[in-house]
A and B are shown apart, each in its own frame.
Chain A
Amino acid sequence: MTDQPDRAQPETVQRRRPAADAAGPAAAAAPAQGAAPDSGDLTGELLTSDQWTDEMVRAAGIPVTDIPFVTIGGGIGSFVTVDYLRIAGVSTDRVAVLSNLDFAWQTYEYLTRVSQIPRPERIRSDSASRPDNIWGFPSYALAEAVGERTFAPLWQVLIEPIWADYYTPKAGRVFAGLERESKRIGWSEMLVKGQVRMVRKRQGGGYFVILTPMVGSTATKRLAYRAEFVHLAVGYPGLRFLPELQEFRTAHQDFHHVVSAYEEHEHVYEAARTKHLVVMLRGGGIVASRVLQRLMDDRAKYGLSTEIVHLFRTYISSSHGPNAWNRRKGANGFAYQGFNYPKSVWGGQLKARMRKLEGEDRGRAYKLMGGTNTPYRRRWQAQMKEGRDAGWYRTMTGTVEQMRLEHGKIISVVKTQNGMVEVAADFVVDCTGLEADIAEHRVLADLLEHSGAGRNPLGRLDVERSFELRGSASGPGVMYASGATTLGGYFPGVDTFLGLQVAAQEIADDLARRGFCHRIGTFRSITQWLRWARDRQP
């Protein structure tokens, strides 16, 4: 087995190797006894020690690079954090980005593309969620209005969300902005490609981060980075299939008829163009809405006869919530909400409130505000209504008890309120986007085991309000984490651009208190914004 970066598959999607093998104490790539001293690989001593000395790493023959700040992941979370630090006066030689990605939005672009948001389509987040601009000004709507000489985006922002759908930027605009900012802050100078294997505390303070570089790019199998501050932004620990779909795929070795919306599944849409198909969708989130839109768009565009059966586990038929102050819209199976949490978790009343909640109270608040939901979009509503009226779009509520293959069709036995119902479909598309446990990510599993990191009420990484990973401090050294792995903390919106920026701001401010960078005050903020506007280096 190898843990060299696998370029074809971003780390966040279901890995080809079975999950149990991907991580966990038993899964160590190196044999339990470790490599020989001086081999440039992990020795047994390193593998088993919670704290490493400089001497231990030297004895293993692993070359060490000193760098004060290391961010692991190199996706959007790393990007916005490094963006903040660069603006707070940190030079590129004080930051290393350790990542298996060539550019920061690579995984995001992959996930959005396969889940049916190509560059010309609009993403979910709002006008001021700009990962390429820490100020969120000018907003995407303003930039689009100026760039395309139209008032429409500004008008939409003015009347949203009541008289129009929320304005959201086109994916292509987001990527173009990220590319520009990436050049501006010198991202490629800080990027080191490879797979991070582990982070361990260093005796005397700080951490060692072990990187497995690209094959053949270095003399040794591993490189070590000695850092005072480490930031973890590894994205999704892994995306999973619904258990019954996974079982079906494994039992029948069928990766064609049962697909995940988070994987390439273009063949489903291609098949729909050649013959009559029945497609079964699972899940009630935005990805289900997207796949539905694609099927319905193609149906209209090419005059197809595709039928869609949409299975909900929980069917939302109307507004729901405990009282008049907490009622979320819902209908036809879906819970409707502009963004994945109520908007004010990113800055308003709910953000302030969540910051104070602990333990079970926090868990309950998450339950109330989160859950599966999708935005109410007028276009989707019209398409679904047309489908319901004509009978080619049907919804069902229940759970799948059994699946089998019969004459090339997948028969799902669905347990509904009215008993068992059999549904035959040509394809089943899993849009649930179940996320794997954090321990399935090798670096996180190692942290839980060796570095004192713990879990929050939702079972993810337990971080402070400053996004410091609780229990993992090492002398003056601090480890931070942001993104999906920290969901369940004092701030719910972590797995979004804006949430990653909220985290980045907290981290940058904390680092400023520790003397690592300048605090971005009013003067620096204005002068740096002017530099951003003129595309000058920070």
Chain B
Amino acid sequence: MLPTLGGRIQTRLILLAVVGGVVTLIIGPLLPISAPLSAVYQDTFVILAAVAVLGIGWECLYHFLMQWRWEKDWPTLFGLATAIPEGLLVWVLLAAGAIPGITGTVPAAAFVIDFALVWLAVWLVANGPMRVPFIRWRFHGGRLV
């Protein structure tokens, strides 16, 4: 998919909500966090929401950077590699207690597993299977509506 700004944001929000939501549900009980499952879910879903909200800002930045590319495309690897700065920012905010709604503390290992799996799943779906239910999506810059 070759994104437009609107398409980027829509795709991110929907994929994080649906794919990210499912992955978060599945991995919740398996994460190395010593807290009741309800607390684990609260924290991981708050993190998911943070990735989505902060992501709107990130997407604006990516869109700006993309303007330097002649093809106005966003190579597949960029979509994967941007996990690093985005993950770091969420971690820093988490450590600073700047993300509202977090109960207790999230161990680094649990964060890395949670964040990486969600990211990977979203990236994989965006790079192929997404085209099956939404045949217009790739021709509309990633917009769904």
Contact = CB atoms under 8 A, between A and B. Distances in A.
A526 B133 contact: yes
A137 B131 contact: yes
Interface of A, helix, strand, loop or mixed by DSSP = loop
Contacts of A348: 1-4, 7, 72-73, 141
Interface in B54-79: 66-68, 70-73, 75-77
A325 B66 CA distance: 9
Interface of B, helix, strand, loop or mixed by DSSP = loop
A222 to B, nearest CB: 38
A351 B141 contact: yes
B96 interface: no
Given A137-B128, A161-B75, A327-B70, A522 B133 contact: yes
Contacts of A337: 70-71
A342 interface: yes
B129 interface: yes
Given A342-B71, A344-B71, A137 B76 contact: no
Contacts of B138: 128, 136, 347
B135 A135 contact: yes
Contact of B77 (A134, A158, A326, A350): A158
A352 B7 CA distance: 11
A162 B77 CA distance: 9
A529 B132 contact: yes
A349 interface: yes
A324 interface: yes
B71 A343 contact: yes
A142 interface: yes
B64 to A, nearest CB: 10
A238 to B, nearest CB: 30
A420 interface: no
Given A158-B76, A325-B68, A352 B132 contact: no
Contact of A157 (B2, B76, B139): B76
Contacts of A138: 128
A361 B78 CA distance: 32
Interface string A499-538: 0001001000000000000001010011001000000000
Contacts of B72: 342-344, 348-350
Interface residues of A, number: 41
Interface in A326-359: 326-329, 337-338, 342-344, 346-352
A321 interface: yes
A160 interface: yes
Contacts of B133: 522, 525-526
Contacts of B128: 137-139, 142
Nearest to A349: B72
Contacts of B1: 347-348
A505 B138 CA distance: 12
Contacts of B139: 346-347, 351, 502, 505
A163 B133 CA distance: 31
Contact of A137 (B66, B132, B141): B132
- Best-buried of A138, A344, A351 by chain B (most CB within 10 Å): A344
A505 B4 contact: no
A344 B66 CA distance: 11
Given A160-B75, A348-B141, A324 B132 contact: no
- Best-buried of B1, B75, B80 by chain A (most CB within 10 Å): B75
Interface in A126-153: 128, 134-139, 142
A67 interface: no
Contacts of A300: none
Contact of B2 (A137, A346, A520): A346
B53 to A, nearest CB: 24
Nearest to B132: A529
B2 A162 contact: no
Interface in B75-95: 75-77, 80
Interface in A259-311: none
A19 interface: no
A337 B70 CA distance: 9
Contact of B71 (A158, A159, A338, A352): A338
16 contacts: A135-B135, A137-B129, A137-B131, A138-B128, A142-B128, A158-B76, A162-B77, A163-B77, A324-B68, A329-B70, A338-B71, A342-B71, A344-B71, A346-B139, A348-B1, A526-B133
